[in-house]
């Protein structure tokens, strides 16, 4: 039974009908008010309490003093003051869009075959040289997430002083990290990002949703993005996670297929000012994909036609590491006399915002096969939008513990299976 005593001589509520943590009834509320000597009406704030908490006059004076001090600082140090104002306003340096495009061309010129998590680290290093307001870190997995970069300085506090830096080791605190990143974005002055494994994005769910709800620019980096992480096993292999992140309104989700798309993902996450981005990167190496200049111009749109044929009979749509499988499947089909179109879809959320005419041109009107090493449900909408026959090659169960190549073979996510699926709908 509930034993409640509020102040000396307060009534014993045991035996009432409001027990076991249930809300107090009217009688209990009246007795509590009497015991506390509280005579004010509900929601009425006594004048002495209101006045004690009213900081309007003092706040206005402090704000005025700060503006006066900053005006003096700006006169003495105009460049630094302008930089401070720019960062606090969340504005990017002048002509940064052109800078981002140049970085994309630079990455494309290197043509590196590397894991997209490594491509991400390279992108961070390039951006950090242009954006001193980048503030990064990782929840206990810096060596795996690769969110450090040459020249970054860890934030530290020792017995003598606080060491300012631009990289935070968060410890095993996925939610704490993500919530703090939101706070940094709300404060202003920084472009915050933090990382963990994709499967651990579940721990950050509330913070991710709030960032999207608040429309704040926060970059969440999630590596080890599929069964391709291999021997770490099903507990660490994300199956439904990419799909579930795509369901969060106003959350952009990028799953790049190579170094170029990784750079594009980072560029767009930084350029975006009205919401957060989740960047999903691979553990395993991904082959560099050659693109013409006209194709490269469309990478930022989230989905684009990578390979085309005037005699195409089928469209293959893929994202992330599975783009390689789609390209290989197109070659297999070509050897069997069937030409295929290949669409790369690194960011469905971005692609879905493109004009309808563009989306229709990319998807085409041929039978379609979509492939991703994750849950398949979200991909069927593109087959429906195109109004064609088709299917999705992907995961329908949790993963297993084995080398990546064996897992893709075991679960039927291979170029051969994609080609077979395509032939079924010709």
pLDDT tens for each residue of 226-242 = 999 999 999 999 999 99
CB count within 10 Å of CB 306 equals 26
Rg (CA), the chain: 27
Q: Which of 293, 298, 269 is nearest to 281 (CA)?
A: 269
Looking at residue 20, its pLDDT comes to 52
To the nearest 5 percent, what fractions of the chain are helix, strand and coil?
45, 15, 35
Confidence of residue 22 (pLDDT cuts 50, 70, 90): low
Catalytic residue numbers, as ranges: 174
Select from 3.40.50.920, 3.30.930.10, 1.10.3720.10, 2.30.33.40 the CATH code of 298-424: 3.40.50.920
Q: Which residue has the tokens 């107090």?
A: 24
Contact 164, 190 (CB under 8 A): no
Token couple for 265: 């993902």
Confidence of residue 14 (pLDDT cuts 50, 70, 90): very low
Confidence of residue 16 (pLDDT cuts 50, 70, 90): very low
- With a cut of 80, say whether residue 15 has pLDDT above it: no
CA distance 137 to 190: 13
Contact 192, 218 (CB under 8 A): yes
Q: At what angle do helices 56-76 and 78-88 cross, to 10 degrees?
A: 130
Assigned architecture for domain 96-286:
3-Layer(aba) Sandwich (3.40)
Domain ranges in the chain are 55-88, 96-286, 298-424
Average pLDDT, the chain: 93
CB count within 10 Å of CB 394 equals 22
The values of phi and psi at residue 178, to 5°, are -65, -40
- With a cut of 60, say whether residue 65 has pLDDT above it: yes
Q: Which residue has the tokens 């391709």?
A: 228
Assign residue 189 a region: left if phi > 0, alpha if psi is -120 to 50, beta otherwise?
left
Looking at residue 25, its pLDDT comes to 87
- With a cut of 80, say whether residue 56 has pLDDT above it: yes
The string of pLDDT tens digits covering residues 256-311 is 999 999 999 999 999 999 999 999 999 999 999 999 999 999 999 999 999 999 99
Contact 257, 320 (CB under 8 A): yes
User: What residue spans of 129-275 are helical by DSSP H?
Assistant: 142-145, 174-187, 205-214, 241-246, 259-271
Question: pLDDT > 70: what percent of the chain?
Answer: 94
Task: Classify residue 92 by its DSSP letter.
Answer: P
The string of pLDDT tens digits covering residues 142-192 is 999 999 999 999 998 877 777 789 999 999 999 999 999 999 999 999 999
Q: Which of 325, 317, 312 is nearest to 382 (CA)?
A: 317
Distance of CA 200 to the CA centre of its chain: 12
96-286 against 298-424: fold identical: yes
Looking at residue 396, its pLDDT comes to 96
- With a cut of 70, say whether residue 51 has pLDDT above it: yes
CA distance 237 to 233: 6
- pTM beyond 0.85: the answer is yes
Token couple for 21: 């943590």
Establish how many alpha carbons lie within 13 A of residue 305's alpha carbon, considering only the half-sphere containing its beta carbon. Answer: 17
Q: 225-242 burial, b if ≥16 CB within 10 A, otherwise e? A: bbbbbbeeeeebbbbebb
């Amino acid at each position: 039974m509930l034993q409640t005593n509020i102040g000396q001589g307060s009534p014993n509520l045991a035996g009432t009908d409001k027990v076991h943590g249930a809300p107090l009834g009217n009688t209990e509320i009246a007795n509590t008010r009497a015991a506390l000597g509280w005579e004010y009406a509900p929601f009425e704030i006594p004048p002495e309490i209101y006045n004690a908490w009213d900081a309007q006059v003092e706040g206005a004076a402090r704000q005025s003093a700060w503006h006066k001090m900053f005006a003096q600082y700006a006169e003495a140090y105009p460049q630094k003051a302008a930089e401070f104002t720019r960062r606090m306003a969340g504005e990017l340096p002048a002509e940064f869009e052109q800078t981002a495009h140049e970085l994309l061309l630079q990455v494309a010129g290197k043509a590196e075959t590397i894991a997209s998590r490594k491509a991400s680290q390279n992108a961070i290093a390039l951006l950090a040289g242009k954006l001193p307001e980048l503030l990064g870190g990782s929840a206990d997995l810096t060596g795996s997430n690769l969110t450090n970069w040459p020249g970054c300085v860890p934030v530290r506090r020792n017995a003598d002083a606080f060491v300012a830096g631009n990289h935070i080791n968060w410890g095993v605190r996925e939610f704490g990290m993500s919530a703090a990143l939101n706070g940094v974005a709300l404060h202003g002055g920084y472009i915050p990002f933090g990382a963990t494994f994709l499967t651990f994005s579940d721990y950050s769910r509330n913070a991710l949703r709030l960032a999207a709800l608040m429309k704040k620019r926060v970059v969440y980096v999630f590596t080890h993005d599929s069964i391709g992480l291999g021997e770490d096993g099903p507990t660490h292999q994300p199956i439904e996670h990419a799909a579930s992140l795509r369901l969060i309104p106003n959350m952009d989700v990028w799953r790049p297929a190579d170094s170029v798309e990784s750079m594009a993902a980072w560029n767009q996450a930084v350029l975006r000012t009205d919401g957060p981005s989740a960047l999903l990167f691979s553990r395993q190496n991904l082959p560099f994909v050659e693109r013409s200049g006209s194709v490269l111009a469309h990478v930022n749109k989230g989905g684009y036609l990578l390979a085309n044929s005037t005699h195409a009979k089928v469209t293959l749509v893929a994202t992330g590491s599975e783009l390689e499988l789609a390209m290989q499947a197109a070659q297999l089909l070509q050897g069997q006399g069937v030409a295929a179109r290949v669409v790369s879809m690194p960011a469905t959320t971005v692609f879905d915002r493109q004009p309808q005419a563009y989306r229709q041109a990319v998807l085409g009107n041929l039978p379609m096969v979509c492939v991703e090493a994750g849950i398949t449900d979200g991909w069927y909408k593109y087959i429906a939008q195109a109004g064609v026959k088709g299917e999705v090659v992907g995961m329908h169960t949790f993963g297993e513990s084995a080398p990546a190549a064996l897992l893709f073979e075991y679960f039927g996510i291979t170029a051969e299976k994609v080609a077979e699926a395509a032939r079924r709908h010709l």
